[in-house]
Amino acid sequence: MPTERIYRTHAVVLRRHNIGEADRVLTLFTPTYGKVRAVAKGVRRMKSRLAGHVELFSRVDVLLAHGRSLDIVTQAEVRDPFRALRGDLWKAAYASYVAELVDRFAEERHDGPESRILFDVLVGALGYFDRLGIVAPAVADGAPAVAVPPPEVSAPDAATGPAARLAARAAELKVLGALGYAPELYVCVRCMERLEPVENAISASAGGTLCPRCARGDGTCRHISVSSIKAMRLLRTEPFAIASRLRLDDRDLRDIELALRAHLAVTLERSLRTTDVLDRLRAALPRDSAGE
Ligand SMILES: [Zn+2]
C-alpha cells in the first residue's frame, strides 16, 4: 500500500456509481495495489478534466491522493479506451463478467505479485473482447474508432459465438490460476496418476480431474472429454487469441462451461470463507499488532 500522499498507477475501471450531484465512485483494479476505490469529483460535469478519461472498462493512468475513507482521483489519462466494450451489448456483457470475476476475487489494497498477473489477465481479456470480430486500422487515442467488420463475420456474431464463450472460460482459468485456485487438469486428484487420453471426469469439490477408476461411484463428478481437457489446458496457459483458434462442438463447450462454473462456485465460497476467517482473526488482534 502506498505511503506517499499522492501516488500514480495504471488501472482498469471495474465498476463505477454516481454519488452526489456530479461525482462518481470508481472501483479500480491496479497492478501494484490490487483493488482501489476512489472518488472522481465533478466528473459528470461537461467541463470536467476527468470526463471521458475514466470510462467503464477502460485502461487508464491515474494520479490518486489518499483521502479519509476513499482516495481521490486528481488526474486521469486513457491508455486503452476499449470503446467497443461499451458500444455492443454482448461485448459489454462479457466485459462486465470479467470485471466482476476480478472484483470478486481481488482484495482491496493488496500489493502481492498476483495483482500484477490479475491485471494482465484483465487487460488481455478486455482487449480480446474489444477487438473480437472487428477488423480496423490502428487508431490513435481520441480519434473515432472505425469498425469495419469483414463481410463473413459481423461483430455481433463474433461476440455471441464460441470464441467469445471460450475467451470467458480462458479468463476464468487465468484468474483462478493467478490466485492458485485453478482446477487440476493433468493428473487424477485422487490417485495422482497421469490422465490417459480417454473420457475422464471432473469434480469441483475434489478440485479437478479424476481418472475413470476413481470417478466410479463418485456422485460429485461429471464426464469430461479428452478435447475439453486439452482445450482447458490451452485456455489456461496460452494468450487469449487461442479462443479464436480452438474448434469444439457444442457439447464440449457446454461441459467446460458447467465444469468451470461449478469450480468457481466452490472456490469463491471457500476463498470468501477464508477471507472471513482472516478478517475475524485480524479484528480480534490487539490494534497495534494488526498493523493499524
Ligand atoms: Zn485416479
Residues 136, 224, single domain; the answer is no
How far apart, in whole angstroms, are the C-alpha atoms of residue 71 and residue 199?
Answer: 52
Residues 9, 137, single domain; the answer is yes
Domain endpoint, select from 131, 160, 189:
160
Contact 27, 46 (CB under 8 A): no
- The alpha carbon of 266 and the centre of ligand 1 are apart by a number of angstroms equal to 21
Residues 21, 102, single domain; the answer is yes
Whether pLDDT at 250 is above 90: yes
- Domain presence at residue 166: no
Listed ranges 108-117, 127-136, 258-267; the one with the highest mean pLDDT: 258-267
Question: Rounded to the nearest 5°, which phi and psi values hold at 262?
Answer: -65, -40
- The alpha carbon of 11 and the centre of ligand 1 are apart by a number of angstroms equal to 43
Residues 104, 235, single domain; the answer is no
Ion ligand 1: residues, Cβ under 5 Å = 188, 190-191, 211, 214
Contact 51, 77 (CB under 8 A): no
- The alpha carbon of 127 and the centre of ligand 1 are apart by a number of angstroms equal to 39
Q: How many CB atoms lie within 10 A of CB 46?
A: 6
Domain that holds residue 223: 178-292
Q: 66 is written with which cell numbers?
A: 489518499
- Domain presence at residue 167: no
- Domain presence at residue 110: yes
- The alpha carbon of 274 and the centre of ligand 1 are apart by a number of angstroms equal to 28
Residues 253, 195, single domain; the answer is yes
Residues 153, 9, single domain; the answer is yes
Q: What's the structural domain count of the chain?
A: 2
- Domain presence at residue 171: no
Residues 60, 195, single domain; the answer is no
pTM of the predicted model, to two decimals?
A: 0.85
Residues in CB range of 143: below 8 A, 6 or more apart? none
- The alpha carbon of 213 and the centre of ligand 1 are apart by a number of angstroms equal to 6
- Domain presence at residue 204: yes
- The alpha carbon of 185 and the centre of ligand 1 are apart by a number of angstroms equal to 12
Angle at 118 between CA 114 and CA 124, to 5 degrees: 145
* CA-to-CA separations, 241 to 18, 93, 220, 255, in angstroms, rounded: 35, 19, 32, 21
Domain endpoint, select from 107, 125, 160:
160
Per-residue pLDDT reduced to its tens digit, 102-123: 999 988 887 788 999 999 999 9
- Domain presence at residue 169: no
Whether pLDDT at 178 is above 50: yes
Residues 1, 114, single domain; the answer is yes
How far apart, in whole angstroms, are the C-alpha atoms of residue 247 and residue 232?
Answer: 12
Closest CA to 174 of 69, 259, 260: 260
Whether pLDDT at 202 is above 80: yes
Residues 116, 190, single domain; the answer is no
pLDDT at 290: 40
Whether pLDDT at 148 is above 60: no
Q: Percentage of residues in the chain with pLDDT exceeding 70? A: 84
Residues 197, 119, single domain; the answer is no
- The alpha carbon of 7 and the centre of ligand 1 are apart by a number of angstroms equal to 51
How far apart, in whole angstroms, are the C-alpha atoms of residue 11 and residue 34?
Answer: 9
- The lowest-confidence range among 46-50, 155-159, 179-183, 187-191 is 155-159
pLDDT at 211: 97
pLDDT at 289: 46
Residues 20, 156, single domain; the answer is yes
Angle at 83 between CA 37 and CA 13, to 5 degrees: 5
Per-residue pLDDT reduced to its tens digit, 15-48: 999 999 999 999 999 999 999 999 999 999 989 9
DSSP lists the bridge partners of residue 27 as: 15, 37
- Domain presence at residue 280: yes
Residues 11, 155, single domain; the answer is yes
Domain endpoint, select from 160, 190, 215:
160
For the domain that residue 63 is a member of, what is the CATH number?
2.40.50.140
Per-residue pLDDT reduced to its tens digit, 274-291: 666 666 666 776 655 444
pLDDT at 287: 56
- The alpha carbon of 46 and the centre of ligand 1 are apart by a number of angstroms equal to 62
- Domain presence at residue 224: yes
Listed ranges 25-29, 144-148, 150-154, 270-274; the one with the highest mean pLDDT: 25-29
Dihedral sign (CA 170, 176, 178, 182): negative
